[in-house]
Amino acid sequence: MVAPAAVAVYRVLTVKHTADGRVFAAVDGGMSDNPRPALYGARYAVRLVGRASTAAEREVDVVGRHCEAGDVLVRSARLPADLRPGDLLAVPAAGAYQLSMASGYNLVGRPAVAAVRGGRARLLIRRESVEDFRAREVGR
């Protein structure tokens, strides 16, 4: 993949509202599958996919699952106020370096890659599993 390619799709795990009015949406990925925001300050757009919402938009920080201060995928994203766990968020043009820079940080496997054409998806690379990490161990 080269240039502004691919769309990263994340599932919202939790939505946190803080006392000072900030909203955080933690997703099932983060700096392990896309370290560019943390390393270089790369900026992405994000949008809700998979369901329609008529709720007003509000600022939401989309953060990763790694519990690191720098694990922020998109700061101040404009997303529906009714964002909830299970929702899907799409990050367009995130794929040029995403897969090549992905790591097994905190033993979170690298994501799957699928090609989509004409409304049909085809798996190109399966999601990395804990079993894949275990298979590399030699000191048993």
pTM of the model: 0.87
Phi-psi group of 19: left, alpha or beta (phi > 0 → left; psi -120 to 50 → alpha; rest → beta): alpha
According to the model, what pLDDT value does residue 78 have? 98
Assign 114 a pLDDT band (cuts: 50, 70, 90). confident
DSSP state of 106: G
For 127, the 3-state DSSP assignment is: coil
Backbone angles phi, psi at 138, to 5 degrees: -120, -10
pLDDT at 101: 86
The whole-number average pLDDT for the span 96-108 is 81
Look at residue 103 and tell me whether its pLDDT is greater than 90.
Answer: no
| Marked catalytic residue, from 49, 67, 124, 130 | 67
pLDDT tops 80 at residue 34: yes
Q: What is the CATH number of domain 7-103?
A: 2.40.37.10
Other Cβ atoms less than 10 A from the Cβ of 113: the count is 17
| 67 given a catalytic annotation | yes
54-96 pLDDT, tens digit per residue, is 999 999 999 999 888 889 999 999 999 999 999 999 998 776 6
How many of the other CB atoms lie within 10 Å of CB of 90?
15
| Rounded mean pLDDT, 97-101 | 79
Per the structure block, which two tokens stand in for 123?
A: 């798996």
